[in-house]
Structure 1
Amino acid sequence: MPSTCSGSGFGFGFAPILFLSLVVACAARPLYPLPSKVSHGSRLPLQTSRPYNIAHRGSNGEIPEETSAAYMRAIEEGADFIETDILSSKDGVLICFHDVTLDDTTDIADHKEFANRKRTYDVQGVNTTGFFTVDFTLKELKLLRVKQRFSFRDQQYNGKFPIITFEEFIAIALDAPRIVGIYPEIKNPIFINQHVKWPGGKLFEDKFVGILKKYGYKGSYLSEPWLKQPLFIQSFAPTSLVYISNLTDSPKIFLIDDITIPTQDTNQSYWEITSDAYLDYIKDYVVGIGPWKDTIVPVLDNYLQTPTDLVARAHSHDLQVNLASVLIFM
């Protein structure tokens, strides 16, 4: 598999484009018709002979993350894949949003009508207080506007864009003038399944895969269907990836956190899930792993240390290595 490069949430490699062009583009057609209604004829294919450019949460060095504008800008700037995080609203609609709380990247604090919605929940073993996506319907979430996560980034687009749904995200990729892949992460599935219930006993994972199938995403890596609609599925939860492997043959990436953080669903340590025995097990369900970058090249006092053997060991088990949505090594 070719190496994969991403903006890594910092917008590297994306040149600024006038905001006016974005406004015109958004006004030129209905907002993300579902399914895609835009015809581009024969679209240029995904280039598989060079590194992929993956826009992590969109072109979010300039525009607030996980917004339609950030994804459209990333496509304009040449992204091969647009990456997103998938959560759920209270009424079971899948949305593109990174945090389980709305506090850091929306204007929820300005909405006094929601002041009584603040809650404290256990999130991966940590009592977390804030305004949670699972306590708001989609209609309510659409009233909010997204803002930049970090103060050192451009603030001029704060308050301009709403939260988008997973289906709206997919439509952005399908409406692109060339083939653009999607790179969704199933975010906090244990927490979501605890707080959101779907009819018929369906799980978050069922809903997620159902939407992918609705829009034609299928096929193993580099298969003909995959090349038409490229997709990688990511998750930090190994049980979710195993479950999903029975629902779709699309390629999956097992994300691995910092060495101090156990898996959110099986409570396994970093050392367990990177052992040769576990890598040999998980390769039946995923095409690669996505470890935190410091586990590949450790950092001490801001100095890079000797690289670990994790990449070599993963490769010995025929696993690709996706470095925190930044690099994928052959």
Structure 2
Amino acid sequence: MASFWHISIAVLILLFGGSKANTIAGPRSQLDVNHKKQLQTFRPYNIAHRGSNGELPEETSAAYLRAIDEGADFIETDILASKDGNLICFHDVTLDATTDVANHTEFANRKRTYEVQGENVTGWFVVDFTLKELKSLRVKQRYTFRDQRYNGKYQIITFEEYILIALYADRVVGIYPEIKNPVFINQHVKWSNGKKFEDMFVETLLKYGYKGQYMSEDWLKQPVFIQSFAPTPLIYISNMTNSPKVFLIDDTTIPTQDTNQSYYEITSDAYLAFIRNYVIGIGPWKDTIVPPKDNFLGQPTDLVARAHALNLQVHPYTFRNENAYLHFNFHQDPYLEYEYWLNEIGVDGLFTDFTGSLHKYQEWTTPYPKKGKKAEAILHEIANMLKDDGY
């Protein structure tokens, strides 16, 4: 846990040290990056879904710090916007499920009903609160069967605070932000000069030095995947950034929120051939790749094979350790599930709520390569030479 607390102290200074913290983020990250342990690229990516949210409330500084400590390659987040145009890390457009907003009597009159992706939704909406008001709330665990001890201890964080957590880690950690509900956000939040949600999103990434094509020198220094369930924003921002993008794919019953295309259309060979001009991969819900029946795995589809044939990566979601989410084939063993998806299905990364368990599995099965005998012999020879010279 030493590294966790080392990062925690740095991030506490950043998150609570005021605006001066932001001014040093860029220079320091550039100075330190060459001395950090680099991102591993020899095995599928361990993507911390909303941080290590199986243990701590999702999308909080603590969840991201824990995920980094547990070995995540990327920390994943959802980006929304406040009433006053600040970008925040939060999954739902409503605050009801994962904050204590219902306990704040001063916000009792903020409950609204809006149309979200074709359905009427009632609740306290992120877009009706300023950043200061959102910061007054406290986050809680989404699922009642998970650890409730950390409820009320953490705030909502901003996109910039999330970025700083990654930049100030003691090794290179990638970020994996999602342009969340762009249609809804652009309807309810307005920025000056006609800018859109997508513009603000990319401007923030560029401000902190995130740029470069996949596996380029710039990308390896500050790795990022940009994701969205909506194809239009991914196409739109392609003129603004060459950072790699991933097209997320929902359940078979849910059409795309911006183009109203069906699952079967967006996973067709023709559409994958089209979208590959803008994205480096797809992120499907795992049950659409291997459809289950009666909680047993069914026959895998050919989606992964067809994506790989077009040089598209596949990063399925979401892997969870709890028995309620494990198909009977895995006998309540999440490591068997990792083995199946990594070895038999052959995916390129996994979104997991339990970063530590995936990291342990990969360290057991595909550990970091050790120095070869030749390299060790050279180091030994140099040491002997220095010893002979009196050092």
Alignment check: 8 A CA contact 1:220 1:249 kept: yes
For 1:174-253, what aligned pairs fall within 5 Å after superposition? 174-253=167-246
- Tell me by how many angstroms 1:324 deviates: 2.2
Paired amino acid for 1:240: P
Paired amino acid for 1:324: Y
Residue 65 (structure 1) aligns with: 58
SS across alignment from 2:315: strand
For 1:283-298, what aligned pairs fall within 5 Å after superposition? 283-298=276-291
Q: CA 1:22–1:102 in 2, change beyond 3 Å: closer, same or farther?
A: farther
Q: CA 1:21–1:287 in 2, change beyond 3 Å: closer, same or farther?
A: closer
Among the aligned pairs, what percent are the same residue? Answer: 70
- Tell me by how many angstroms 1:175 deviates: 0.5
- Tell me by how many angstroms 1:320 deviates: 1.3
For 1:286-325, what aligned pairs fall within 5 Å after superposition? 286-324=279-317
Paired amino acid for 2:122: T
Q: CA 1:23–1:224 in 2, change beyond 3 Å: closer, same or farther?
A: closer
Q: Tell me the alpha carbon deviations over residues 5-37 of structure 1, each in whole angstroms, 9 at most, x when there is no partner.
A: xxxxxxxxxxxx69x959973786342632525
SS across alignment from 1:311: helix
Distance 1:89 1:277 in 2: 37
Residue 119 (structure 1) aligns with: 112
Alignment check: 8 A CA contact 1:289 1:322 kept: yes
RMSD of Structure 2 on Structure 1 (CA): 2.0
Residue 354 (structure 2) aligns with: none
Q: Tell me the alpha carbon deviations over residues 61-84 of structure 1, each in whole angstroms, 9 at most, x when there is no partner.
A: 111000011111111111111100
Alignment check: 8 A CA contact 2:11 2:165 kept: no
Distance 1:286 1:171 in 2: 25
Paired amino acid for 1:31: L
User: Are positions 1:54 and 2:38 aligned together?
Assistant: no
Distance 2:170 2:274 in 1: 40
- Tell me by how many angstroms 1:52 deviates: 1.9
Residue 13 (structure 2) aligns with: 29
- Tell me by how many angstroms 1:325 deviates: 5.9
Alignment check: 8 A CA contact 2:14 2:22 kept: no
Distance 2:152 2:219 in 1: 36
TM-score, with structure 1 as normaliser: 0.90
- Tell me by how many angstroms 1:265 deviates: 0.3
- Tell me by how many angstroms 1:117 deviates: 0.3
Residue 5 (structure 1) aligns with: none
- Larger-gyration structure (1/2): 2
SS across alignment from 1:279: helix
Residue 277 (structure 1) aligns with: 270
Paired amino acid for 1:122: E
Q: CA 1:299–1:22 in 2, change beyond 3 Å: closer, same or farther?
A: farther
- Tell me by how many angstroms 1:319 deviates: 1.3
Higher helix share: 2
Distance 1:22 1:144 in 2: 27
Residue 97 (structure 1) aligns with: 90
Counting matched residue pairs gives 313
Q: Tell me the alpha carbon deviations over residues 154-201 of structure 1, each in whole angstroms, 9 at most, x when there is no partner.
A: 100000000000000000000001111100011000000000000000
Alignment check: 8 A CA contact 2:80 2:181 kept: yes
Distance 2:11 2:177 in 1: 26
Q: CA 1:22–1:57 in 2, change beyond 3 Å: closer, same or farther?
A: farther
Distance 1:157 1:113 in 2: 24
Q: Tell me the alpha carbon deviations over residues 273-307 of structure 1, each in whole angstroms, 9 at most, x when there is no partner.
A: 11111111100000011111111100111111000
SS across alignment from 1:169: helix
Residue 377 (structure 2) aligns with: none
Alignment check: 8 A CA contact 1:289 1:320 kept: yes
Q: CA 1:71–1:27 in 2, change beyond 3 Å: closer, same or farther?
A: closer
> Gaps (5+ residues) in structure 1?
1-16
Residue 347 (structure 2) aligns with: 329
Alignment check: 8 A CA contact 2:7 2:65 kept: no
- After superposing on structure 2, the runs of 4+ consecutive aligned residues of structure 1 that deviate more than 4 Å are 20-24, 37-41, 325-328
Residue 76 (structure 1) aligns with: 69
Residue 136 (structure 1) aligns with: 129
